[in-house]
Chain A
């Protein structure tokens, strides 16, 4: 903080800013506190490992956790290879500032702005109906992948771009092949950035609901396969609070579980990439 000359308006502005800071902090902590309290009431070990009962009002969320993990797995199984390839294309294989690179970047920008319900509509029309996958974890995971892809690509591409230019110079001077450059130096050097991209994409996907209600569906049972319909934690919170009377306590507990998972992911990202903010 550089010292500057103070003036009257400075005092007023400072007051306003501190006031707003307090307001935001209070409201946020109010919300988080409410979730915590409401959730803790209903939370128990049985809740986490048990099966849902009575439309979810009682019992647990074990099948939902499994469904959530499966949807995430499908999603990341698509996002990581496609996203890595796309980021590599942007930083390594397409002429910088060229027409193709610009088109790809613009396309990804547009994709990242698509509303989540539109992904839901598209996922329904394309994956569920057109490709015949129906309401399934597979449909949900694929639709989610379309949504998570731009975020993953953005973070990965910026991690790739941060590899020191000097390595590239040395590799050029030794005529190292492109494949060896990527495999032996570029990717290993950017691995923490790629890990962060993965974790952030998972976090974003966990928070999604609208994409999944028309693709993965609502079914609360433990899924037997990827073709089964499955309900994720976020969808469960929605159903419990909107469609199930008396479902609030369970919704609160589920919210608490979800928020805790996200906080943990947030902390892991911080460990992996300590000085980056996205």
Chain B
């Protein structure tokens, strides 16, 4: 397994360009009367892992899903502000290109009701990768990248839903990686998994540093401390989600500025 992961690593490190950074400027998202997120500013540097932490309902997932335009699909949503991937506003990109460059992983593993290999080849076909051989190869690489190749190579045609929860989530990560995105959005990817599966997924995420720009929403402060380079803390103020502090992870845990951050990170609140 280690060999295949290394091979996949090598493939990616051979990419000449560094992945783009992500910037969110002054974002406000409203659903009808309710404001989910207000005046959010966020910067993720190229190749970094940024964690968004905070209690439930602060708008973290809403903001995350607005980076690849998923939030825009909700009927009746009003979004103001700018979202930029590598200095290009996402409104100027077609949804096909945007979601090829920005991949997403959800909280509850959601592989398609198809075979394991189809889960990966289907999106490739959708995005115009002709040639079955080419698709098979890219799928193989993606599975190797998440450490699944060894586990599933003898049963690629089995339904994806026969995999365990942790395997399904790694499959979903592979599915996001198979399109060779530059940015990855992870919405609490480990919260529905048992500790062992969670650790495996976390290891995959950790290996993404440098080759991808990663934004991860997590409830697990210990996890954020382990894998995130930078951190952003959300909180609800007057029924609206806001960012109260941002900065390097270690600083937020050892010398937080905002009193709520101090209480939250010391586990006294949230």
- Give yes or no for direct A-B contact (beta carbon below 8 Å): yes
Chain B residue nearest to A163 (CB atoms) is: B113
**Residue in B106, B108, B112 with the greatest tally of chain A CB atoms within 10 Å:** B112
Task: State whether the Cβ of B68 lies closer than 8 Å to any Cβ in chain A.
Answer: yes
Contact B176 A175 (CB under 8 A): no
Q: List residues of chain A with CB within 8 A of the CB of B122.
A: 176, 180, 184
Q: List residues of chain A with CB within 8 A of the CB of B75.
A: 95-97
What 1/0 flags go to A83-107 for Cβ under 8 Å of B?
0000000000001110000000000
**CB within 8 Å of B: which of A92-137?**
95-97
Bound-state CA distance A177–B94 (Å) is: 13
Task: State whether the Cβ of A167 lies closer than 8 Å to any Cβ in chain B.
Answer: yes
Chain A contact residues (Cβ within 8 angstroms of B): what range? 20 to 34
Bound-state CA distance A175–B68 (Å) is: 10
> B96 touches which one: A96, A169, A175, A188 (CB < 8 A)?
A175
Bound-state CA distance A123–B161 (Å) is: 49
CB distance from B3 to the nearest CB of A (A): 29
Q: List residues of chain A with CB within 8 A of the CB of B104.
A: 173
Contact B113 A173 (CB under 8 A): no
Q: List residues of chain A with CB within 8 A of the CB of B176.
A: 173-174
Task: State whether the Cβ of A53 lies closer than 8 Å to any Cβ in chain B.
Answer: no
Contact B113 A167 (CB under 8 A): yes
Known: A166-B110, A170-B106. A176 touches B73 (CB 8 A): no
Task: State whether the Cβ of A189 lies closer than 8 Å to any Cβ in chain B.
Answer: yes
Task: State whether the Cβ of A172 lies closer than 8 Å to any Cβ in chain B.
Answer: yes
Bound-state CA distance A97–B114 (Å) is: 31
Contact B113 A185 (CB under 8 A): yes
**CB within 8 Å of B: which of A137-159?**
none
Chain B contact residues (Cβ within 8 angstroms of A): what range? 20 to 34
Bound-state CA distance A72–B55 (Å) is: 58
Task: State whether the Cβ of B179 lies closer than 8 Å to any Cβ in chain A.
Answer: yes
Contact B110 A167 (CB under 8 A): yes
Contact A176 B123 (CB under 8 A): yes
Bound-state CA distance A260–B174 (Å) is: 53
Contact B123 A174 (CB under 8 A): yes
> B127 touches which one: A167, A175, A184, A189 (CB < 8 A)?
A175
Contact B126 A175 (CB under 8 A): yes
**CB within 8 Å of A: which of B93-143?**
95-96, 98-100, 103-104, 106, 108, 110-114, 122-123, 126-127
Q: List residues of chain A with CB within 8 A of the CB of B112.
A: 167, 170-171, 184-185
Chain B residue nearest to A173 (CB atoms) is: B104
Bound-state CA distance A176–B175 (Å) is: 12
CB distance from B131 to the nearest CB of A (A): 18
**Residue in B73, B110, B179 with the greatest tally of chain A CB atoms within 10 Å:** B110
Bound-state CA distance A173–B68 (Å) is: 8
CB distance from A189 to the nearest CB of B (A): 6
Known: A166-B106, A166-B108, A169-B106. A174 touches B113 (CB 8 A): no
Contact B175 A189 (CB under 8 A): no
Task: State whether the Cβ of B257 lies closer than 8 Å to any Cβ in chain A.
Answer: no
Q: List residues of chain B with CB within 8 A of the CB of A174.
A: 99, 103, 123, 126, 175-176, 179
Contact B103 A173 (CB under 8 A): yes
Contact B106 A175 (CB under 8 A): no
Known: A95-B75, A184-B122. A175 touches B113 (CB 8 A): no
Bound-state CA distance A158–B214 (Å) is: 38
- Selected A-B contacts with CB under 8 Å, 13 pairs: A169-B110, A170-B106, A170-B175, A172-B73, A173-B99, A174-B99, A174-B103, A175-B95, A175-B100, A175-B127, A180-B122, A180-B126, A184-B112
Closest 3 CB pairs of A and B: A166-B110, A175-B99, A173-B104
